[in-house]
């Protein structure tokens, strides 16, 4: 009888240890949603910025920050996605990186972007674009990015954001270590 209990305890312990290997990669936000999980899984390879650069992503902005709102980070965009007008959780238009003290760039989130004119052409009945039930924000032109009017949604899949997983600014992201050209 004692041998059976010992075997069961060993099996429970082994099952527990094996389950640890199957845990997902750590998420930046404890309040995960299906959209955050999907974005996180789809962009995991871009934790190495060199992969993004090799795939044709280009720097669109320096590190964007506000005096008391946190930062958005450095945005890299994939030009072919900007004019597509199709929102796909697995294919963000921008990757967002935070400059680190050692010169590395750390993936912190993504941004979905659709030009208003492209959206209106593809959706003549109107309406605000949404991704998995999350409405995108409208940014009028002229704007500080020099873009025509567009819709956007940030998803902080790699860094917790106290302001919310879909807020534009993240107080846990900083531009303090952006290199000066």
| Residue of 124, 94, 89 lying closest to 111 (CA atoms) | 94
Peptide bond into 142 cis (omega under 30): yes
**pLDDT for 124:** 81
pLDDT of 167 > 90? The answer is yes
Mean pLDDT confidence for 10-38: 50
pLDDT classification of 159: cutoffs 50, 70, 90:
very high
pLDDT of 117 > 80? The answer is yes
Structure tokens at 181: 């050209």
Pairing between β-strand 134-135 and β-strand 130-131 as defined by DSSP bridges: antiparallel
More confident residue, 21 or 49: 49
Say whether pTM exceeds 0.85: no
**pLDDT for 31:** 67
């Amino acid at each position: 009888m004692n041998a059976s209990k010992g075997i069961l305890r060993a099996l429970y312990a082994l099952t527990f240890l094996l389950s640890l290997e199957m845990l997902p990669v750590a998420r930046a936000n404890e309040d995960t949603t299906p959209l955050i999980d999907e974005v996180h899984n789809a962009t995991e390879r871009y934790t190495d910025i060199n992969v993004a650069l090799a795939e044709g992503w280009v720097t669109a902005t320096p590190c964007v920050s506000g005096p008391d709102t946190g930062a958005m980070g450095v945005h890299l965009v994939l030009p072919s996605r900007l004019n597509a007008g199709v929102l796909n959780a697995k294919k963000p238009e921008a990757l967002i990186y935070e400059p680190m003290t050692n010169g590395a760039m750390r993936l912190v989130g993504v941004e979905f972007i659709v030009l208003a004119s492209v959206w209106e052409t593809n959706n003549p009945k109107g309406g605000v674009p949404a991704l998995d039930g999350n409405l995108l924000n409208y940014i009028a032109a002229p704007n500080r990015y020099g873009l025509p009017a567009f819709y956007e949604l940030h998803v902080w899949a790699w860094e917790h954001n106290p302001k919310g997983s879909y807020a534009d600014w993240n107080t846990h992201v900083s531009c303090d270590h952006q290199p000066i050209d």
